[in-house]
Amino acid sequence: MRADRLVATLLLMQTRGRVTAGELAAELEVSVATARRDLEALSTAGVPVYPQPGRGGGWQLVGGARTDLSGLSAREAQALFLLAGPAAAAAPEVKSALRKLMGALPGTFRADAEAAASAVVVDQAGWGERPKSRPPMVELLRDAVIARRRVRLTYAGRERLADPWGLVDKDDVWYLVAGTDKGRRTFRVDRISAAAAMEAAADRPSDLELASVWEEVVEEMEKRRSLLAADVVLERRHYGVLRDRFGRHCELVAELPDDRVRARVAAPAPLMIAQELAGWGALVDVEGPASVRAELARLGAELVTRYSHQSPE
């Protein structure tokens, strides 16, 4: 998008004072000719930039002119128009920020920026699902994280004190990562029935990196969710569906004759694997373990007992 490149160009010139077309091209990953055209377009549009020829020359802003976007890097500016557009549909504050961002652009390029912001629509509801909404508790907890205030939570019927470290949105399910008297804990936000920020300051590790902490949480959870593995054989054309159903708990083990594959799926218990595979019928052959085969046989017997004597309508 041309508009985001122009914003990135202005920010880069503001930060470095002077840039060459070659430096700009390398930073924004475009050709030197494109970078030069962008610089000339800014000048034509009335932005106070001018070229300084000769050794050590380049392009710079006249009199150190600045934009209102000084807190952004060039790469951040490139991403804003595509990211802020979809986000604005769900968050009024993002829409307001996007309007201010548009206002900082030269009028000549504002239409391009508006087009970029509306170029992507994010629909996070799956087919057959209702649109998901953010739990109202998120706003209160977010403010507590920012203000570094301890919170009193009612969670699973129990009242708890927690030091909020950060919030994580995982596929539209929100989690609060927090410190407690029993160490780090993760709370699913839609299961918090009540919350209140306290006057007491939260105890937050000075070297905390929320992304790294969340990686640890995910790794621990995935280990608990994959305590038992089963090997299954199926036609290669069905493997993609199996992988979609089991996610990261499905791996391809071997290629077999007759265009079949052996895959390994995992879950916390034999019944959970059997329940997922029962609907596949004869499309999959479960090689083991015996506990999963036994659960499949039991489920099959239950279905036969319940439905075999019913006459067709």
Retrieve residue 79's tokens.
């991403």
Residues 169, 212 within the same domain: yes
Supply the CATH number for residue 230's domain: 3.30.70
The confidence score (pLDDT) of residue 311 equals 65
H or E stretch including 101?
helix 92-103
Residues 6 or more apart whose CB falls under 8 angstroms from that of 226 comprise 249, 266, 267, 268
Highest mean pLDDT among 105-114, 131-140, 171-180, 302-311: 171-180
Q: 232 and 242 in contact (C-beta within 8 Å)?
A: yes
Supply the CATH number for residue 104's domain: 1.10.10.10
Domain count across the chain? 3
Residues 16, 94 within the same domain: yes
- The answer as to whether 272 is a domain residue is yes
Cα torsion 63, 68, 71, 77: sign: negative
Q: What is the pLDDT of residues 270-299, one digit of tens each?
A: 999 999 999 898 899 999 999 999 999 999
> Is it the case that residue 130 has pLDDT exceeding 80?
no
> Is it the case that residue 198 has pLDDT exceeding 70?
yes
Q: Which of 220, 255, 289 is the last residue of a domain?
A: 220
**Angle between helix 110-117 and helix 2-16 axes, rounded to 10 deg:** 110
- The answer as to whether 127 is a domain residue is no
Supply the CATH number for residue 178's domain: 2.30.30
- The answer as to whether 230 is a domain residue is yes
The confidence score (pLDDT) of residue 307 equals 86
Q: For residue 1, what pLDDT band results from cuts at 50, 70 and 90?
A: very low
The confidence score (pLDDT) of residue 104 equals 60
Q: Which of 220, 249, 281 is the last residue of a domain?
A: 220
- The answer as to whether 129 is a domain residue is no
- Mean pLDDT of all residues belonging to the chain: 78
- The answer as to whether 231 is a domain residue is yes
- The answer as to whether 126 is a domain residue is no
Q: What is the pLDDT of residues 57-101, one digit of tens each?
A: 788 776 554 554 544 444 444 445 554 554 444 555 555 555 666
The confidence score (pLDDT) of residue 267 equals 87
Residues 198, 99 within the same domain: no
Residues of the chain with pLDDT > 90: what percent? 27
> Is it the case that residue 250 has pLDDT exceeding 70?
yes
Residues 216, 242 within the same domain: no
Lowest mean pLDDT among 49-58, 101-110, 235-244, 291-300: 101-110
Q: For residue 117, what pLDDT band results from cuts at 50, 70 and 90?
A: low
Residues 58, 104 within the same domain: yes
Which residue is it, tokens 């089963």? 230
Which residue is it, tokens 């914003």? 7
> Is it the case that residue 248 has pLDDT exceeding 70?
yes
Residues 9, 87 within the same domain: yes
- The answer as to whether 36 is a domain residue is yes
Count CA atoms closer than 13 A to 90's CA, side-chain side. 14
- The answer as to whether 271 is a domain residue is yes
CA dist 311 → 78, 301, 308 (Å): 64, 18, 8
Q: For residue 152, what pLDDT band results from cuts at 50, 70 and 90?
A: very high
Residues 43, 10 within the same domain: yes
Q: Which of 62, 89, 117 is the last residue of a domain?
A: 117
Question: What is the Cα–Cα distance from 137 to 178, expressed in whole angstroms?
Answer: 15
Better-predicted residue by pLDDT, 265 or 226:
265
Range of the domain at 6: 2-117
User: What is the strand order of the sheet 250-256 is part of?
Assistant: 250-256, 260-267, 228-235, 284-288
Nearest Cα neighbor of 6 from 59, 63, 83 is 59
Question: What is the Cα–Cα distance from 66 to 14, expressed in whole angstroms?
Answer: 6
Nearest Cα neighbor of 163 from 122, 114, 198, 209 is 198
Residues 200, 248 within the same domain: no
Q: 218 and 266 in contact (C-beta within 8 Å)?
A: no
